[in-house]
Amino acid sequence: MAEADTAREQAHRLLELWSALALRHVALGGACACGAGGVSLRLEDFELDIADYLQDGGERHEDADVAGWFKARAGQPPGSQPLRDLLDGVLSGAVPTAAADWVLPRLERTLRSFAELHGGL
């Protein structure tokens, strides 16, 4: 039970972090969205890319339980908020422990990297 609580605590922290990061903007092309020129995207625009990265890695994982869970969800269309859905699944216990233990550290590294690169929190 302690491992599940730890995964849920981590999922909750990551959900809060993602919620804070998702609305931030990333300036591309040398200008900020606050000024003229350049292109700006919200970090939320990268959500599907992050979810795809995790999905691909999970499907190729050597642990059959992890790979099996990710492969089983591969045919499902992603929701409008795939990272929130994944973290909600961990919080509700719908994501098996092996898959949660694999995905949460990777998602944490990714989100922390975004936070460091784009103004921190």
Contacts of 102 (CB under 8 A, 6+ apart): 58, 61, 63, 66
> Contact 38/31 with Cβ under 8 angstroms?
yes
pLDDT at residue 62, rounded to an integer: 96
Q: What is the pLDDT of residue 119?
A: 63
Give residue 72's identity as a one-letter amino acid code: A
Domain boundaries, the chain: 2-117
Whole-number pLDDT of residue 36: 47
Reported pTM: 0.80
Rounded Cα distance between 74 and 55, Å, is 7
Low-confidence ranges of the chain (pLDDT < 50): 1, 31, 36
Note the pLDDT of residue 1: 47
